[in-house]
Amino acid sequence: MVTPVAKREAVGHLVTTYEMTERRACKAIGCYRMTARYQTSRSDDAGLRQRMREIAHERRRFGYRRLHVLLKREGYLVNHKKLFRLYREEKLTVRRRGGRKRALGTRAPMTVPVLPNERWLLDFVSDQMTDGRRFRILTVVDDCTRECLALVADTSLSGARIARELDRLVAERGKPKMVVSDNGSEFTSNAILTWADQSRVAWHYIAPGKPMPNAFIESFNGRLRDELLNETLFTSLAQACVALRCWRADYNDARPHSQLGWQTPSEFAATGNPRRDLALRYIESSAPAPATAQMGTSNRPNELRPG
């Protein structure tokens, strides 16, 4: 659709370039002479635009309605609909925030731990009792030995409570080099940030919405839910704490772990062998013997698989 402004410009071009009369130019492009002669009476509102931009940059979270009130206080008489049009033309629309502010922590790629206490993993699991009351469980796992260090259950677990539990674990086991968690409000609280700074422990926050960097704690939580939480009806918080204590002892001392050569986490931690040596021995023992095709040899993996 051709706008009136474009038609006026076209008429002016024909009159100036081809020395046509206004009547013939309007007839050639199908434009009314009244449209060609129209002169806008609208002001450019340069002062209003400038002041609106200044207020919008000073108060970046104010929309056009609050700007309208502030401009009226300064003596600018403008209709709110006109102000909204100028507001859109100046592209001053308030942008929607992407999400809440999160603690940054470290974003460097994590190495594979080879010794105990190199990296602790933290996460939460939630469940409910038979009367409908919900409670949460703080899970703490050593990423090298796969030991479950703590299962803390309560109806509310604040950052200060987590800091106290970490102090207890440090007193029993020693200080870790790194702690890994998600960006939950408990882990990004001032209490946790203060604890990490005072304890001189590196705290690594995984990227939001991407649990793979903290994959083992997610797998551990799945085992905890499948083997205990989904199999037990809890009538009280005290019963849940006792059941979690028994399950943790069974997990560390009796349950064989496939990634530890079917040793229990306690047995593996007692040997003191780095995980790197265990992984190399496991790969060497599980590597298949080289196979040879009947019609000749081939190095292609698909041809070496048994039929």
Tell me if 253 is assigned to some domain: yes
Residues 134 and 261 occupy one common structural domain: yes
pLDDT tens readout for residues 8-18: 889 889 999 98
Residues 12 and 129 in one domain: no
* Whether residue 123 is found in the same domain as residue 174: yes
What does the alpha-carbon distance between residue 198 and residue 70 come to, in Å, rounded to a whole number?
Answer: 47
Q: How many domains does the chain have?
A: 3
- Both 178 and 221 in one domain: the answer is yes
Expressed as residue numbers, the domain containing 211 is 119-271
Residues 22 and 79 in one domain: no
pLDDT above 70 covers a percentage of the chain that reads 81
Those residues with Cβ within 8 angstroms of residue 144's Cβ, 6 or more apart along the chain or in another chain: 113, 114, 115, 116, 117, 118, 119, 275
Q: Which amino acid is at 182?
A: D
Do 249 and 126 share a structural domain? yes
| Same domain (yes/no): 218, 134 | yes
Q: What is the pLDDT of residues 62-103, one digit of tens each?
A: 888 989 988 998 999 899 999 999 999 898 988 776 655 555
Nearest-angstrom CA–CA distance, 289 and 283: 12
Is the entire prediction scored with pTM above 0.75? no
The proportion of the chain whose per-residue pLDDT surpasses 90, expressed as a percent, equals 24
Residue among 37, 122, 125, 52 at smallest CA distance from 82? 52
User: Nearest-CA neighbor of 91 among 49, 45, 46, 44?
Assistant: 49
Query: 147 and 166: one domain?
Result: yes
**What digits encode the pLDDT tens for the residues 219-242?**
888 888 888 888 889 999 999 999
Per mean pLDDT, which range of 105-109, 134-138, 149-153, 164-168 is the poorest?
Answer: 105-109
